Structure 1
Amino acid sequence: MLYRQFLLLITLLFTTLISTCNAEQITIHTNNWAEFNAFQNNDATESLSIATNMHALKDVYSSIKFKYMTTQRTLQYIDEGHSICVVNRVKTKERLEKYIFSQPINLFLSQRLYQQADSTPLQSSNNVINLSDIFNEKPNAQILLAEQVSYGDAIDAELKKIPEKNIMRRYSGEQDIGIANMFVKKRAEFAILYPQQVFNFITNIDARSYEINGNPPYILGYLMCTKNPANSNFIKKVNHQLNSNIEELLKLHLNFVDPTDKIMLTHYFDQAFKHKLTETP
């Protein structure tokens, strides 16, 4: 009798342990194969995105299950109520109503409009352009855009004004690398890219760039999660890690930026992170 009770107790404890582990496991999606492989192999040397996210997730790494998934499918799963987190998301008003966010994890110098170097330069004021105006000047040109990706409120608002015939959309995964590859292959005259992305790209991108009017000087990347208690607790742990070593986070950023931009990036980092990382999550 005592033996049977002992076996029952062990079974209950084991079941509880398994349930607890499953409940605490966090699923994180990325639409980038290089990021997925780096996360799986705990390798933080590939890019700014990978290095900063690995830094933020260091204390909770063992509780994470990483999955490769296209942005479209990830958003579909989240909208269906699945418990998922996604790296490198931009905060927008619409997303803030639906999801929860970590404190900022990475800072990218704001996207610029890149134009093929062998095309006629745009007419601009101090190298600043309005996205919605460029196709009045070049009615047959096209711009490469990643589907299901937000470029931030300011750019998203401008993109809605561009005629569909002037847009070449990329629907599959690997959005950042895919758009850059398509631009290098001259699939379109224009693309919206990050300066750090261009600097770290494996192939030289032969293009001129323009500042986008109304776009803030930098954009912050966050961990975005479905709203539920487990994810809220997870984000608190991530935020604690971010708060614990801000100087290390700055060093990681400086490893992946054009040397000519280091002073500017440091200024923006101090402006954004040292304020944001003191906010209550």
Structure 2
Amino acid sequence: MFRVGLFILITLVKFAHANSSDSIEQNNVLAFHADNAFLTERVNLQGNPYSTSVDTVQMLVDEIGHTDPVLHVPLVRSFAYMQHGENICVLNKIKAPEREKNHLYSLPLSFFQTQRFYQLASLPPIEKEFLDEKGRILSISRVLEAFPDSFIVLPEEYSFGERIDDDLKQVNREQILRIANNIYYSRFMEMFSKGKSDFALIFPATLFRSFGENMPIKVRSYSIADNPDYVSGHVICPNTSQGAKHIERINAAIKRIYLTPEFISAHTRYLPAQDKQNLRTIIEQSIEKLMLAN
């Protein structure tokens, strides 16, 4: 059903491709920003597959003919530029209500299992009073309050989605170690692998890419209640007429990417075997709905 539905829509998608003739002219002025060193050090600079975010962004820039590297800019500064109408777009961000009020979002460029809450196994297990009937964390802030001598490492500027963002605002600041976004993942992985961070909030795919099936330390893993099982990463552009044109062109490119087998492969190759089919199904169902709606 998925493939039949997409086949019917291919003609409509190819029509959008005709609008790509002006891509070279627009590309000369559009700059892509990211605060993630994985993107800024690899997209258009290294050709090897690396992660879902890197691989899907590379597919996008290839499709629209954008050959410049992604610029490394702190997220706060990128949003300030966009507020002033600068001709930039930010890559691979989860939707957040406050951002949606003032910016334009592309179709999903990547899909991820949502972050899980990890705890060092050397700590006592989280008490049942902090879990729902399915064993999911009810409140991160309450858990950390129950472990007053522990701390969690988080990036300086990052949205985990509205549900988690609101919860993290209640955490004692002394229990949070903030690390600059550009070095967060490398620094965090080093600390976590050595047992120097009591708790972690991170994508399962990120841990799997770093450690595979052989975690260097023992941990417990918890889902988070009232949090979606999957989230998507988007391109964010300024809410201007020029930004709208960029979103239109980016969306047309993303629709073409959806039709390639490489798109799903860019997601499943970074997951353990037991998670591959679930994410594949989520992506196929999401694409079918998005293509029909757009």
What SS does structure 1 have at the residue aligned with 2:44?
Answer: helix
Report if the CA contact (8 A) 1:26-1:65 is conserved.
Answer: no
Structure 2 residue 78 is matched with structure 1 residue 74: yes
Match of 1:52 in 2: 56
In structure 2, C-alpha distance between the alignment counterparts of 1:64 and 1:278, rounded to whole Å:
32
- 2:285 is aligned, of 258, 271, 277, to 271
Quick one: which amino acid aligns to residue 230 of structure 1? Q
Gaps of 5+ in 1: 1-19
Match of 1:17 in 2: none
Report the count of equivalent residues: 261
Quick one: which amino acid aligns to residue 96 of structure 1? E
Report if the CA contact (8 A) 1:44-1:50 is conserved.
Answer: no
Deviates more, 1:42-51 or 1:151-160: 42-51
By how many angstroms is 1:65 displaced?
5.3
Report if the CA contact (8 A) 2:157-2:181 is conserved.
Answer: no
Match of 2:135 in 1: 127
Report if the CA contact (8 A) 2:151-2:198 is conserved.
Answer: yes
Per the alignment, do residues 136 and 38 of structure 1 end up closer, same or farther by CA in structure 2, a change over 3 Å counting? closer
Deviates more, 1:52-61 or 1:142-151: 52-61
Give CA deviations for 1:183-204 in whole Å, capped at 9, x if unaligned. Answer: 2243320110001001001583
Structure 2 residue 274 is matched with structure 1 residue 260: yes
By how many angstroms is 1:94 displaced?
0.7
What SS does structure 1 have at the residue aligned with 2:104?
Answer: strand
TM-score w.r.t. the length of structure 2 is: 0.80
Gaps of 5+ in 2: 1-23
Give CA deviations for 1:180-228 in whole Å, capped at 9, x if unaligned. Answer: 3332243320110001001001583532211111110011000111223
Report if the CA contact (8 A) 1:113-1:191 is conserved.
Answer: yes
By how many angstroms is 1:175 displaced?
3.0
Per the alignment, do residues 43 and 163 of structure 1 end up closer, same or farther by CA in structure 2, a change over 3 Å counting? same
What SS does structure 1 have at the residue aligned with 2:182?
Answer: coil
In structure 1, C-alpha distance between the alignment counterparts of 2:27 and 2:115, rounded to whole Å:
38
Quick one: which amino acid aligns to residue 152 of structure 1? G
In structure 2, C-alpha distance between the alignment counterparts of 1:183 and 1:267, rounded to whole Å:
31
In structure 2, C-alpha distance between the alignment counterparts of 1:42 and 1:235, rounded to whole Å:
25
Report if the CA contact (8 A) 1:25-1:65 is conserved.
Answer: no
By how many angstroms is 1:172 displaced?
4.8
Match of 2:231 in 1: 219
Report if the CA contact (8 A) 1:83-1:228 is conserved.
Answer: no
TM-score w.r.t. the length of structure 1 is: 0.83
In structure 2, C-alpha distance between the alignment counterparts of 1:278 and 1:205, rounded to whole Å:
44
Quick one: which amino acid aligns to residue 160 of structure 1? K
Quick one: which amino acid aligns to residue 208 of structure 2? F
- 1:174 is aligned, of 176, 183, 188, to 183
Quick one: which amino acid aligns to residue 26 of structure 1? L
Match of 1:149 in 2: 158
Per the alignment, do residues 56 and 21 of structure 1 end up closer, same or farther by CA in structure 2, a change over 3 Å counting? closer
Match of 1:103 in 2: 107
In structure 1, C-alpha distance between the alignment counterparts of 2:242 and 2:28, rounded to whole Å:
7
What SS does structure 1 have at the residue aligned with 2:125?
Answer: coil
What SS does structure 1 have at the residue aligned with 2:41?
Answer: helix
Q: Percent identity?
A: 23
In structure 1, C-alpha distance between the alignment counterparts of 2:182 and 2:151, rounded to whole Å:
21
Instruction: Give 1:23-62 correspondences, 5 Å limit.
Output: 24-41=28-45, 43-62=47-66
What SS does structure 2 have at the residue aligned with 1:141?
Answer: coil
Task: Return the index of the structure with the highest Cα Rg.
Answer: 1
Report if the CA contact (8 A) 2:148-2:175 is conserved.
Answer: yes
